[in-house]
Each structure stands twice: as C-alpha cells, then as structure tokens.
Amino acid sequence: MDAATFLTRARRALRRPPREIAARCWQASRRRAQRPWESVLPRFVTTRTLLREAACADIDTLWAALAAQPFFIQPRNREEWARRFRTEYPAATGDVVAQADRAVRHEFDLLGSGPTTFDGRLPWRTDFKTGKEWPIQYCTDIEYYDLDRPTDVKVPWELSRCQHFARLGQAYWLTGDECYAREFVAEITD
C-alpha cells in the first residue's frame, strides 16, 4: 500500500467511532489468526481420507454407493410427485414456474433493486448498479467495507448465492421442460 492510500484510509478511520475501529481491529486480527488454517485444513480432508472413511476403493465406487442410497423422491417417480404437487398446490406450481422463467430470462431482484434483466452472461462479480467489478479474491481480503464508495460487493454476492437454482430444479420436476435444466447447466458452467 502506498503512502497516499494509507493516509486516505487513516483519515477515514479517524472519522469513525472508537468502538467501530476497535471492533474492526478485532475482526481483522481474528481473520489473520484463522488464515493459516485455511491452507492446512484441506490437507487433512483429502480424497484418500474420504475414501478410507467411506470404506470405498475409489471415487467411482463411492459415487455408486451414494447413488444407490434411497432418497425420498426417486427420479422414476417424478411424474407422480409432480402430478400430486400440481393437484394439491395449484397456485404454488404457477409461482414456481414463473420464478424459474424469470431466472431463465436472467431477471433478478437483487437486494431490493427491483426486477433487472441481464443480457448474456450473468454479472457474477459485478455490481450492475455501478459497473464495479470485484476481484476474484478470498472474501476477507476484499476491501468492501468502505462507505465512501458508491458500490456494494453484496450485489454480486447475492446473485452468486444461486438461490434461483432451487426454482429451476423445481420447475424442471414439475414441467419436465429441459429449458430449466439447460439454464442450470449454463450457469454452473459459466
């Protein structure tokens, strides 16, 4: 960090209440203390550890074992479940499909922004209100707590929570329309 940036941040910090400054210092020190574990922990949870705990020889065997376990809704029963849902909850069916259709059109209401339609690729890292693109970085390394900036990292983060994925899946199960599955795959791929 250069001297000018440091001075600008120091001036902003001095305008904050002492309790807020103390809380931010405490949060920063906690994050720094946790940071070394982020590189160590993945070494404990390895493929070999997972396979040993699951008593499987390889990933394919583990995947087959997990797929064979019963789930309360089986794909072979999709039509029956969808018919029963449509019969018992006709209004909900329309709502689910309408919400999924909005997701297919890339129309989202992010943090009360009102319905906004995105053409082409979704702005996974961009605050569409200001055009600010946020870096691909560990979340605590992003300097997002700056009230003087007219942008908000929570806008792309909200989109990236992918809450609409559930509606895409539900609409696919209710209608069998492949457009919902294609949209899901396209967004995951993106």
Residues 54 and 100 in one domain: no
pLDDT for the residue numbered 145: 66
The domain containing residue 167 runs over which residues?
Answer: 75-189
- Per-residue b or e along 59-74, where b marks 16 or more CB atoms closer than 10 Å to that residue's CB: eeebeeeeeeeeeeee
pLDDT for the residue numbered 148: 64
SS3 call for 129:
coil
pLDDT tens digit at each of 190 positions of the chain: 678 878 888 888 788 888 888 888 898 888 888 878 777 777 778 888 889 989 999 999 999 988 888 777 778 888 998 999 999 998 999 999 999 999 999 999 988 888 999 998 899 988 888 888 888 887 777 777 665 667 778 888 899 999 999 999 999 999 999 999 999 999 999 9
Cα radius of gyration (the chain):
23
Cα–Cα–Cα angle for 61, 66, 72, rounded to 5 degrees = 160
Residues 49 and 85 in one domain: no
Residues 21 and 37 in one domain: yes
Domain boundary among 39, 68, 97: 68
Structurally, how many domains does the chain consist of? 2
Q: How many helices (H) and strands (E) does the chain have?
A: 9, 4
pLDDT for the residue numbered 61: 94
Residues 29 and 121 in one domain: no
The Cα–Cα gap between 69 and 66 comes to 5
pLDDT for the residue numbered 147: 56
pLDDT for the residue numbered 149: 67
Residues 179 and 86 in one domain: yes
Domain boundary among 38, 68, 98: 68
The Cα–Cα gap between 130 and 156 comes to 11
